[in-house]
Structure 1
Amino acid sequence: MSPPLGRLHVLTDARAGRDALGVATRAVEAGAPVIQLRVKGRTDRELYDLGTRLMAICARHGTVCVVNDRPDLALAIGAHGTHLGADDLPVAAVRRLVGPGHLIGGTAREPGRAARLVAEGVDYLGVGPAYGTSTKAGLPTPIGPAGVGAVARAVDVPVIAIGGITADRVRPVLAAGAYGVAVVGAVSDAADPAAATGSLLDALGEA
């Protein structure tokens, strides 16, 4: 059985020398229920070393750990799930690799693709960008809470809104139908990542 899916997903951020592990640790200690390991431009060994350290922190706090893009890395570090982007392996292929009980997330921004991913077997969807964001280059036009809601109404799995999410923007996406939110800069760029995590949890009603 897959672990329960929390409503706040904090993605690691190693841009421009940011302390991805340190920020993730503070977020976990503040109560973040899900951490997603997403780091670009590192060797597999570096990712494995970071992932094993992150998993140890998550294990101490009962936090779910999901790996972005890489089911092989997720299995290697004993993570709870894998989040797949549009150009990653198909859901069915990943399920054969990871077996039952491993969370698989998919990425969608419109109802048709979302429905196809659910039919293929994803456990939840990351939907966005909900708002404009500078943490990832080349993203399409933001879909806003209305776009998030359109996807949420089309599927029966949890929808996690991502892209430009701040504590003040949590309520609009929840009201539109999102189950939860995923954040990068709202925590990694905060002067106090633990306090920022707490503010997001307050907005989600999970403090």
Structure 2
Amino acid sequence: MVNHIPMTFRQRLLLFLSDPNIAYLLLILGMYGIIFEIANPGAVLPGVVGSISVLLGLYALQLLPVNYAGLLLILLAIILFIAEIKVPSYGALTIGGIISMLLGSLMLIRSPFPYMRISLTLIVPVTLGTAAFFFFLVGAALQAQLRTPYSGREALVGAQGIARTQLKGRGKVFVEGEIWDATSTELIEPGEEIEVIGVQGLTLQVKKREKKT
């Protein structure tokens, strides 16, 4: 007679974590969480989730035949990606990070058995997704550098809006989704379209918008 003894929660957890694909996903999820936290300080949740994922991933790896050169390459990729956010290199650090991540992923598990290695069908999408994400960031950074260096309230000059009150010297206008104090040298009735021609502190200088005929 065979008695079946059910696995404990700890045994089920260890079995789950011993899957190399799960360990790899935990590391990658942790990488994204930590990078997001560094890029957006104070978000908290991504950093917490990322840290827990990395720790679980590292714990899982100790159950597997790890190639530490592969692990170091993945850690190097994380460092390069973080460096790209902090010190834009126009894609050079991102390319280095992608190459390091791909090689590290392929080398991470050292086993002659295919079922003990990380699946290529997981490595390829993860690497391509990471590459697309960081190249998008690089492109956005380049576009930001090429744009006219307007900042703060100066960017409101030329913006159009609606008069909320009568402007006979002073009143309220609605511009860029907010209500502002405004001054005008001409009489503007509520509901008329206006254009911002200047900014003084928290007060906009406006005029009637010229309607094209």
Same fold (TM over 0.5): no
Q: Which TM-score band applies after superposition, normalised by the shorter structure?
A: under 0.3
Q: Compare the two structures and name the one with the higher helix fraction.
A: 2
TM-score (norm 1): 0.26
